[in-house]
C-alpha cells in the first residue's frame, strides 16, 4: 500500500506543477538536456520514487524565456543615445583630425584650439636699408640736412602683428610698428621739418599699423572697422611688404594719398560673381593716422574694380586684367586743423616741397589743409603670361587732386588766417615688372586687402601643394610724376611777394632687381632718379639738393637727384 501511495503522490505533484505554470509546454530538442527552473512556490521535500511497472507520463519543463511577471519586478528604462558634437566653426576639424594645433601652412604660421573655434596667425617683419645718394653735394653742416645725404644703414621698419579668426565670420588684426611714420613727417611733432625727413625705426615711436575687426557676412557684404589702408588706389591697397619698390610711387604716397592709413569703417564685397565687380566703400576721420580725429568732419573714400575677362579662363592673355576707379572727398575744419599740408618727398626723405615759408617779418607761415579735399582717378593692371612661364606685369594709375588750403602764422594757427588758396594737379605712375625666373610671389596681394585666413581644410591635397612657398627674381621699372600748381590766395586774401605761388613739377624714374622667397624674405637693389626742371625758381616750387649751397657756399643748380637703396626684408 505504501508503494502505491508513493506512486500516486509523484503523479499528483507533476500535474500540479503543470497547472501552476499555466504555459504552453516546450519540448526540449532530442538529445538535449532540458533546463530545470525552480518554482516560485515553497520548495518541496525531495522525493525518492521507486521504479514501478506502471507507465509514468513524460515530464515537460516550461520554457525559461518568459519569467513570471510581477508589479514589483524591475523595469528596463531605455537610455537615450549620446548626441553628436556640435559642428566645428571651421571644416578642418571634420577632415579626419589630421590638422595639428600649430604649424605652418602655405608660409603662414597658425595656432588653433582643439575645437577649431579660435585661430591665431602671428607675424613679424624686419626691413633693413642701406641708402646712398650718388652725386649729391656735400651739405654736411647745412641746417636741416646734416649728414643724411651720405651713405647710411638703418632699420627702416619693424612690424609686429597678430591676426586671428573667431568662428567662421569674425576676424581681427592688431599690429604695431617702429618706423611707421610717414616719410616727410618730423621725428618729433614739436619740431619743424628740415631738408631731410626720412622715416625709420630709430626714432623709437611705436605706432599702430593695421588694427581692425572684420565681419564676413556674405560674399557681397563684409565690414572692416579700425585703422586700415584707405580704400583708394591699387598701390595704396597693397600691403607695405608686397610692393615691388622699397616705397610706394611718388605720385601716390606724396600727392594722391599722403596718409595711406586712416581710422574708419569700410564696407566691401563682390557685387557680381567671377570678380566682375568688387567694391570698397568707407567713411573715415580724414586726418590720417598721425592726427587721428583732429576735427569732427568725415572723409568718404571708395574704390571699385573689375576683371572683365575673368570668365574667359587662364588661356586668355588678358584673363587677369583689372580696371578700377577710386574717389575720396572730405573737409577740414579751419578752427581745429593745425597740421601742415603733406609735403612732397623722395623715397629716402629729401623734402622736394615744404608747404611753408618765412614771411618778411621772419615769422614761420604754414600752409594748412582747410575746406574741401578731393581726389578722383583710375587704375589699370595688365599681367601677361609669356612662353616659358615668365610673367610681364604692367600697372598704371592717374589721379586728379584738389586740396583747399589756408595760410597761418605760427602761434595763431587756429585763430587767424592770412589767405585761402588751393593745391591742385595730377599725379600718375606706370610700373613694369618682369619675372625672369619663377613667378609672381605676392600676386594675390597687389591691390587687395582681406582678413587673414589659412585654408587648413586642404592640407596635403594637390591644392595645398600648389600653395607652397613661391620664389622668383623680379626686374622692375617705374616712371611717376606730379604736375600740380599751388595758388596761395586763389580763394581769398591777398598774396604777397613772399607767398609762394607757382607750379610744382617732379618726376621719378627708376628700376631695380630683387629676389623673393614667399613673404619670408626679399633682397634687392633699387635706383631712383628725381627730376625737377627749373627747380628752385619761380617756375617750379620744388627744391633739389643742387639748389642748396654746399659747404663751400656754392649751389650747383642741378635739377636731378639720385638715390640708391639696398633693401633686405625678412619675416613670417
Q: What is the pLDDT of residues 403-425, one digit of tens each?
A: 999 999 998 998 899 999 999 99
Give residue 260's pLDDT: 93
Write out the H or E segment, with its range, that includes residue 250.
Answer: helix 250-251
Task: Report the pLDDT value the prediction gives residue 87, as an integer from 0 to 100.
Answer: 55
Q: Is the pLDDT of residue 31 over 50?
A: no
Q: Is the CB of residue 405 less than 8 Å from the CB of residue 370?
A: yes
pLDDT in tens, 316-348: 878 889 999 999 999 999 999 999 999 999 999
Q: Average pLDDT of 203-231?
A: 95
**Spatial distance between the Cα atoms of 406 and 421, rounded to a whole number of angstroms:** 6
Tell me what percent of the residues of the chain surpass a pLDDT of 90. 52
Beta bridge partners of residue 565, listed in sequence order: 131, 526
What is the spatial distance between Cα 318 and Cα 325, in angstroms, rounded to a whole number? 19
Question: Cell for 295?
Answer: 576735427
Provide, rounded to the nearest whole percent, the portion of the chain with pLDDT above 70.
Answer: 78
Whole-number Å distance between alpha carbons of 258 and 251: 9
Residue 22: predicted pLDDT: 42
Average pLDDT, the chain: 82
**pLDDT of amino acid 313:** 79
**What pLDDT is attached to residue 197?**
84
* pLDDT for 275 beyond 50: yes
Assess whether pLDDT exceeds 60 at residue 21. Answer: no
* Model pLDDT for residues 451-498, shown as the tens digit of each residue: 999 888 755 544 444 455 678 999 999 999 999 999 999 999 888 888
- What is the rounded distance in angstroms from the CA atom of residue 398 to the CA atom of residue 343? 19
pTM for the model:
0.80
Give me the pLDDT at residue 549, please.
85
Distance CA 179, CA 203 (A): 8
Nearest to 195 by CA among 555, 435, 469: 555
* pLDDT at 35 > cutoff 70: no
Structure confidence at residue 77 (pLDDT): 62
3-state secondary structure of 277: strand
What whole-number distance in Å separates Cα of residue 64 and Cα of residue 26?
A: 9
List the Cα angle 162/164/169 in 5-degree steps. 155
Rounded distance between C-alpha atoms, residue 563 and residue 240, angstroms: 20
As a whole number of angstroms, the distance between CA 268 and CA 219 comes to 9
User: If 0-12 CB within 10 Å is exposed, 13-18 middle and 19+ buried, where does residue 191 land?
Assistant: exposed
Which residue, 422, 323, 316, is CA-closest to 368? 422
Domain 101-571 class, CATH top level: mainly beta
Question: Do the strands 102-105 and 560-571 form a parallel or antiparallel pair, or are they unpaired?
Answer: unpaired
Report helix, strand and coil shares of the chain as percent, to nearest 5: 10, 45, 45
Calpha distance 553→541 (Å, rounded): 21
CA dihedral (546, 549, 552, 556) positive or negative: positive
Given a cut of 70, whether residue 244 has pLDDT beyond it is yes
Which has more pLDDT, 552 or 72?
552
Q: How far apart are CA 441 and CA 189, in angstroms?
A: 38
Higher local confidence (pLDDT), 39 or 163: 163
Beta bridge partners of 171: 165, 214
Cβ within 8 Å of residue 496, ≥6 positions away: 359, 360
Domain residue ranges in the chain: 1-67, 101-571
pLDDT digits (tens, 9 = 90+) for 95-151: 445 678 998 887 789 999 998 899 999 999 999 999 999 988 887 655 555 446 778
Amino acid at each position: 500500500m505504501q508503494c502505491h501511495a508513493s506512486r500516486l503522490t509523484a503523479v499528483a505533484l507533476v500535474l500540479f506543477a503543470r497547472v501552476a505554470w499555466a504555459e504552453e509546454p516546450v519540448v526540449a530538442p532530442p538529445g538535449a538536456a532540458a533546463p530545470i527552473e525552480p518554482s516560485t512556490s515553497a520548495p518541496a521535500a525531495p522525493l525518492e520514487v521507486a521504479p514501478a511497472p506502471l507507465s509514468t507520463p513524460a515530464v515537460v519543463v516550461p520554457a525559461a524565456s518568459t519569467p513570471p511577471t510581477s508589479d514589483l519586478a524591475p523595469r528596463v528604462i531605455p537610455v537615450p543615445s549620446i548626441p553628436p558634437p556640435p559642428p566645428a566653426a571651421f571644416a578642418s576639424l571634420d577632415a579626419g583630425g589630421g590638422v595639428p594645433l600649430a604649424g605652418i601652412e602655405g608660409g603662414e604660421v597658425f595656432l588653433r584650439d582643439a575645437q577649431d573655434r579660435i585661430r591665431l596667425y602671428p607675424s613679424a617683419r624686419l626691413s633693413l636699408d642701406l641708402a646712398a645718394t650718388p652725386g649729391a653735394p656735400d651739405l654736411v653742416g647745412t641746417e636741416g640736412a646734416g649728414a643724411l645725404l651720405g651713405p647710411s644703414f638703418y632699420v627702416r621698419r619693424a612690424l609686429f602683428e597678430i591676426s586671428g579668426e573667431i568662428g567662421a565670420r569674425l576676424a581681427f588684426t592688431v599690429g604695431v610698428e617702429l618706423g611707421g611714420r610717414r616719410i616727410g613727417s618730423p621725428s618729433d611733432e614739436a619740431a619743424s621739418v628740415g631738408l631731410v625727413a626720412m622715416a625709420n625705426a630709430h626714432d623709437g615711436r611705436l605706432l599702430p599699423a593695421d588694427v581692425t575687426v572684420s565681419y564676413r557676412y556674405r560674399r557681397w557684404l563684409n565690414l572692416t572697422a579700425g585703422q586700415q589702408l584707405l580704400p583708394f588706389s591699387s598701390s595704396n591697397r597693397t600691403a607695405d611688404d608686397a610692393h615691388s619698390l622699397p616705397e610706394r610711387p611718388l605720385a601716390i604716397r606724396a600727392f594722391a594719398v599722403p596718409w595711406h592709413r586712416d581710422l574708419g569703417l569700410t564696407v566691401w564685397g563682390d557685387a557680381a560673381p567671377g570678380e566682375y565687380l568688387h567694391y570698397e566703400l568707407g567713411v573715415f576721420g580724414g586726418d590720417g593716422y598721425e592726427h587721428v580725429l583732429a576735427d569732427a568732419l568725415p572723409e568718404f573714400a571708395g574704390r571699385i574694380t573689375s576683371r572683365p575677362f575673368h570668365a574667359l579662363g587662364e588661356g586668355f592673355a588678358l584673363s587677369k586684367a583689372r580696371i578700377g576707379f577710386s574717389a575720396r572727398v572730405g573737409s577740414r575744419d579751419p578752427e581745429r586743423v593745425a597740421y601742415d599740408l603733406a609735403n612732397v618727398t623722395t623715397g629716402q626723405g629729401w623734402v622736394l616741397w615744404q608747404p611753408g615759408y618765412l614771411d618778411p617779418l621772419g615769422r614761420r607761415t604754414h600752409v594748412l589743409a582747410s575746406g574741401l579735399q578731393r581726389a578722383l582717378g583710375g587704375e589699370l593692371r595688365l599681367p601677361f603670361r609669356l612662353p616659358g612661364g615668365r610673367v610681364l606685369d604692367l600697372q598704371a594709375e592717374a589721379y586728379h587732386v584738389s586740396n583747399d588750403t589756408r595760410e597761418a602764422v605760427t602761434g595763431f594757427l587756429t585763430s587767424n588766417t592770412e589767405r585761402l588758396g588751393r593745391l591742385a594737379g595730377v599725379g600718375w605712375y606706370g610700373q613694369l615688372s618682369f619675372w625672369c625666373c619663377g613667378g609672381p610671389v605676392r600676386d594675390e596681394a597687389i591691390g587687395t586687402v582681406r582678413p587673414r585666413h589659412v585654408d587648413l581644410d586642404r592640407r596635403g591635397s594637390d591644392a595645398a601643394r600648389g600653395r607652397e612657398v613661391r620664389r622668383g627674381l623680379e626686374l622692375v621699372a617705374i616712371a611717376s610724376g606730379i604736375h600740380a600748381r599751388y595758388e596761395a590766395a586763389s580763394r581769398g586774401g591777398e598774396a604777397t611777394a613772399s607767398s609762394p605761388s607757382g607750379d610744382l613739377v617732379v618726376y621719378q624714374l627708376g628700376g631695380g632687381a630683387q629676389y623673393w622667397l614667399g613673404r619670408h624674405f626679399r633682397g634687392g637693389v633699387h635706383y631712383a632718379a628725381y627730376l625737377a626742371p627749373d627747380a628752385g625758381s619761380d617756375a617750379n616750387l620744388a627744391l633739389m639738393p643742387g639748389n642748396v649751397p654746399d659747404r663751400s657756399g656754392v649751389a650747383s643748380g642741378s635739377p636731378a637727384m639720385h638715390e640708391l637703396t639696398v633693401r633686405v626684408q625678412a619675416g613670417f
